[in-house]
Amino acid sequence: DLALILLSVSFEYSNAKCSLDIQKDLPPSDPVFVDKNHNLVKPEGKFIEWNIGDKFGAICSGKNNTFISTNQRAAIFECRHDGLHSSGQNIPKLECSKDIVAETLDTNKACIGGGTLKHVGFRTYSSNFTRYLEICYNMNEASVIYSHHIIPGKSINYRVQKALRPFFNVAGAPSKAQVSKSYLRKQQTKTFTKLLGSEQYMRYFNNSSFLSRGHLSPDADGVFKSWQLATYFYINVAPQWVTTNAGNWLAVEKLARRKAARINDDLEIYTGVSGIMSLPDSSGRKVKLYLKNGPTGKYIPTPMWYWKVLKYKDEGIAFLSMNNPFANQKLYICPDICQSYNWPNKGFENFRKGFTYCCKVSDLIKRLPEVPPEVLVTRVMKY
């Protein structure tokens, strides 16, 4: 017998549909919603909607995480004429006992640049894994090559907005690289004083100039809190100067979300890094910046470039951002087409914020070996 689920949140029922308002109806620790094919459920505008007869799963992913009301990890719901039902259960609210914890899954498939494909997502039913991010990662250097995700344009403007600053998860990264320790400011002081000499270190590093954990797939591209939390993995970050991270790179991320909302559809996003940034040591010799230099090797290189491709059907645009706030010379590896295709580029030439410009996707593929061929499109995307 199917028992009616009594949602403590407001439940909207109209036009032969069941729906939840993602800004009002979701509890602080909301579950992961998946469809019958184990794909993530994407909202339509500000609502998650189901037609009559639709079934979906709600899962409290993560160790020892369950619905507060039932102590069960998962529940299957059905949208019926009188609302949402779940088999044999009467759940007062869809709240998990703690925040969702995402996991990594090794596919053991090779990807470009000597990388291995890894997925970040959620363990749903028993052995099933639902992907949110696809990441190409070089285990030998503890370096991300690119990440791939979707911005759901229909709902991105209604995303859950919470001040998230969780711990970064080391899962999927090689232990020899000590990724968590290597990003610490005090560790950067030790590493780069040794590499560059104390005088040069002080010239480039201070409280407002250091290497931050630069997200490739950003948290703010996720609609649900669980999606946003899933971006906090070390395999999804690379060393990025804090001024470029919060400068033009943030502007590019905002442009991607704005474009997704404009097309009102799913926008594919590929984000990656290329090259290794160097700074001069005390004798003027250029030294490549690795966060971890040890007897077993060099790990976590600081990229010279961050790149991002926006792809929709056969249209695409590429953004390239120089990860060097100390640069004083514009470096174009492909022609800048921002203005030709109406992409806002105010401040993109500011070196401290990260010199940035737009490229044709085909040009980016020719110039950067780390860009995967599947990003190729036939037409240039206008803003």
The fraction of the chain above a pLDDT of 90, given in percent, is 77
* Alpha-carbon distance values, 172 to 121, 148, 234 (Å): 12, 16, 8
| Ramachandran region, residue 345 (left: φ > 0; alpha: ψ -120 to 50; beta: rest) | alpha
83 with 183, same domain: the answer is no
Q: Are residues 114 and 263 in the same domain?
A: yes
Helix or strand or coil: residue 255?
Answer: helix
Express each pLDDT in 199-237 by its tens digit: 999 999 999 999 999 999 999 999 999 999 999 999 999
How much of the chain is in helix, strand and coil states, percent to nearest 5? 20, 35, 45
- Answer yes or no: do 200 and 323 share one domain: yes
pLDDT, tens digit (0-9, with 9 covering 90-100), for 269-307: 999 999 999 999 999 999 999 999 878 899 999 999 999
Domain count, the chain: 2
Domain assignment present for 151: yes
Does residue 224 lie in a domain region?
yes
Q: Which of 119, 148, 149, 215 is catalytic?
A: 215
Say which residues have a Cβ less than 8 Å from residue 208's Cβ, sequence separation at least 6: 242, 243
Pick the last residue of a domain from 87, 114, 129: 87
- Residue 215 is a catalytic residue: yes
Assigned token pair, 165: 């600053």
Higher-confidence residue of 18 and 311: namely 311
Same domain, 197 and 272: yes
Please, which pLDDT band fits residue 128 given cuts at 50, 70 and 90? confident
Please check if 248 is assigned to a binding site.
no
Q: Which of 41, 59, 87 is the last residue of a domain?
A: 87
Section 99-118 average pLDDT: 96
DSSP 8: S
**Single pTM value for the model:** 0.93
Domain closes at, from 25, 55, 87: 87
Q: For residue 167, is it within any domain?
A: yes
Instruction: Give the domain CATH number at 357.
Output: 3.40.570.10
Judgement on whether residues 9 and 148 belong to the same structural domain of the protein: no
151 and 66 assigned to the same domain: no
Q: What is the pLDDT of residue 92?
A: 53
Q: What DSSP element (H or E) covers 85?
A: strand 83-87
Same domain for 219 and 154 = yes
Same domain, residue pair 141 and 67: no
Predicted pLDDT at 11? 45
Are 171 and 259 part of one and the same domain?
Answer: yes
Q: Which domain holds residue 76?
A: 2-87
- For 51-79, how does the pLDDT look when each residue is reduced to its tens digit (9 = 90+)? 998 989 999 998 899 988 888 888 888 88
Q: Residue 194 domain-assigned? A: yes
pLDDT of residue 13: 46
Residue 90 has pLDDT above 80, yes or no: no
Question: Which range, of 32-46, 90-104, 193-207, averages the lowest pLDDT?
Answer: 90-104
Tell me the percentage of the chain whose pLDDT exceeds 70: 93
Tens of pLDDT, residue by residue over 334-379, are 999 999 999 999 999 999 999 999 999 999 999 999 999 999 999 9
For residues 255-259, average pLDDT = 99
Determine the average pLDDT of the residues in 6-14: 41
Do 65 and 159 lie in one domain? The reply is no
Q: Are residues 297 and 173 in the same domain?
A: yes
User: Looking at residue 121, what is its pLDDT?
Assistant: 97
Shared domain for 291 and 172, answered yes or no, is: yes
For residue 5, the model assigns a pLDDT of 35
